[in-house]
Structure 1
Amino acid sequence: MRLAKYVTTLLLCLGISATTQAAETHGRILVLLSGENQLPLKEGKTYPTGYYLNEFGVPADGLQKAGYELVLVTPNGQAPSVDQRSVNPLYFGGNNAEMLRIQSVVASLPGIDKPHKLSDVLAGDLSEYDGLLIPGGHAPLIDLANDPQVGELLKYFHSAGKPTAAICHGPITLLAAQDAPQDFETGLIQGNTPQAKNWIYNGYRMTIFADEEERIFEDSLNGDKIRYYPAKAMVTAGGELSQAKAWSPNVVVDRELITGQNPFSDHALTKALLEQLQNRR
């Protein structure tokens, strides 16, 4: 009792309340990001990409404010890149100051320049993480959707019933949680209709960047084409897609899975993730 009283007194002297201290110990969230920044297109061309600033920064900000520690990881431990198209006040309600604030939040995250390597995380104790966040941008199409180690990570959160939240193109990562995800991806790229094998999210309700939204993006590529459309890929795998009007916020929750359709779903996805985390406490 004397020690507890001493600690409380010390915290008060430092200007830190016991409530604040408690808020800082809610748990840890793993943030899975792509480490790549050149999206392969058809005919061997590429497009510079990365994570979308608001799709990463808005949930990160909300989670930190709620007292969660964020642990960043990429497949090979390389630093993630921001998609420069996303550094735009458009994705922050037209508020340039808010965009700059979120930029600062992301820049100050521990591990932003040197995230953990996925194999190291898998070799550790996954039970220490309370949830998984997968930001969007086109980058997950490069090195997350086809990685069996990513599938191993997803299977843990799925079997443990812990929240997995993915936004915009982030949900394409879910395709890794099947047998032979690389073969499935190859079939998609070849224009076939591949069969997902033992996909853990088969029959789940979900959403992802809509075909209509993807076509609008593709129109900006001066005639170049992406290798496959993510929404069609999710349906092919066995997902039950729920899409809203293009560019409208849309979040779908099914069991432990939380998915957001597009960049404008960032705040709704953050709210849904925090609610699931709160319900598990």
Structure 2
Amino acid sequence: MKNILFMLSEWGYWGEELVGPLEACDAAGYKVTFITPNGKYPTALSVSCAPGYIDPPLGRSVTSEEMGAKTMKVIDSGRLENPKSLADWFPLRAYPSSPTYLRDMEAYYETIDKIVAEELVNYDALVIVGGSGALVDLANNTRLHELILGFVKLNKPIAAECYGVSCLAFARDFREKKSLIWGKHVTGHPIDYDYLDGTGFEGPHAIDGSNKGFGDGYINFGAPFYPLEFILRDAVGPDGAFIGNVGHATSVIVDYPFITSRSTASSMECGRLLVEVLEKGLTRYGF
């Protein structure tokens, strides 16, 4: 039985972007393990559970009755309770200002290498679920970058959706500092789809009194603070390509080991292609 690791933000994921690959993995008989940055319960963005919600850039509903119900079914199932904690699993890289920096980094890489060799080998693929929350606690999460690097080292597939693709742009060997997707073909949330206002975040940090959020459970950040398309275009370099497929209903690109998915409507296709990668050895699709 294949074991798939699903990474979710604690600041709000998009329901369909969980449901699409999750349904595909369930249908294939895979075991699924959920993980969040600090082991907190992941919160679905409210609009991704609200059928009829009109997406401003697209001018149409992006949450169907069926998908809203499926998102609520996953939530009500209790499957997302007690997710694995990335912070408890992977160490935090030392600051260069540490008086013991060299020894700290030796210990750091020794720990990372051991996790990859002894624990990460038990997983067959990584899925990074999209939604605006990924911009907050996934994109520049160095622990997640090491997790992604581990899957690449083991030559195992990584599927990333929507704003979750930002993690691939920023993940890089700290010694070389070159993006892992340099020279690759990827898709992701294009500038055409970005909100001018209303990019929202929800989750435990916003309501638990920890002062890590703003206290009302919903935070409007206006426009996205990362223009993902521009970041991806730079990250792939001159020999790679960002393929937005704007005007097409869906956009999923497979350039092994990466499976990248543009946005909500591509989630079911992303799940289907992940299974094809795992079962049929698919390495190239969509370009």
Normalised TM-score (structure 2): 0.71
2:102 matches 1:101: no
Partner of 2:179: 199
2:7 matches 1:32: yes
Task: In structure 1, list runs of 5 or more residues that go unmatched.
Answer: 1-25, 38-49, 182-195
Aligned match for 2:235, one of 234, 237, 248: 237
Shift of 1:107: 3.5
For 1:76 and 1:260, the matched residues in 2 are separated by: 25
Partner of 2:21: 59
Q: Read off the aligned partner of 2:74 and give its amino acid letter.
A: V
Shift of 1:69: 1.0
2:193 matches 1:218: no
Partner of 1:262: 263
For 1:139 and 1:27, the matched residues in 2 are separated by: 27
Partner of 1:88: 50
Q: Read off the aligned partner of 1:144 and give its amino acid letter.
A: L
Task: In structure 2, list runs of 5 or more residues that go unmatched.
Answer: 54-60, 91-114, 200-219, 283-287
Partner of 2:254: 253
Q: State the aligned residue count.
A: 226
For 1:38-57, what aligned pairs fall within 5 Å after superposition? 50-57=12-19
Partner of 1:70: 32
Q: Read off the aligned partner of 1:170 and give its amino acid letter.
A: G
Shift of 1:167: 1.0
Partner of 2:84: 116
SS in 2 for 1:61: helix
Deviations 1:136-183, CA, capped at 9 Å, x for gaps: 1011111111121111110111122211111111101113412569xx
Contact kept in structure 2, 1:146 and 1:175, CA below 8 Å: no
Q: Read off the aligned partner of 1:238 and give its amino acid letter.
A: V
Greater Cα radius of gyration, structure 1 or 2: 1
Aligned match for 1:208, one of 167, 175, 188: 188
Shift of 1:257: 0.5
Shift of 1:229: 0.4
CA-atom RMSD, angstroms?
2.7
Identity of paired residues, percent? 29
For 1:109 and 1:255, the matched residues in 2 are separated by: 33
Q: Read off the aligned partner of 2:4 and give its amino acid letter.
A: I
Q: Read off the aligned partner of 1:105 and give its amino acid letter.
A: V
For 1:76 and 1:129, the matched residues in 2 are separated by: 20
Contact kept in structure 1, 2:189 and 2:262, CA below 8 Å: yes
Aligned match for 1:168, one of 162, 166, 189: 162
Q: Read off the aligned partner of 2:83 and give its amino acid letter.
A: P
For 1:237 and 1:210, the matched residues in 2 are separated by: 14
- The 3 A distance-change label for structure 1 pair 94 and 211 is closer
Contact kept in structure 1, 2:62 and 2:264, CA below 8 Å: no
Contact kept in structure 2, 1:57 and 1:106, CA below 8 Å: no
Partner of 1:7: none
Contact kept in structure 2, 1:212 and 1:246, CA below 8 Å: no
Partner of 2:205: none
Shift of 1:113: 2.4
Higher helix share: 1
Contact kept in structure 1, 2:36 and 2:42, CA below 8 Å: yes
Shift of 1:218: 2.0
SS in 2 for 1:63: helix
Normalised TM-score (structure 1): 0.72
Deviations 1:44-68, CA, capped at 9 Å, x for gaps: xxxxxx1000001121122112101
For 1:109 and 1:238, the matched residues in 2 are separated by: 38
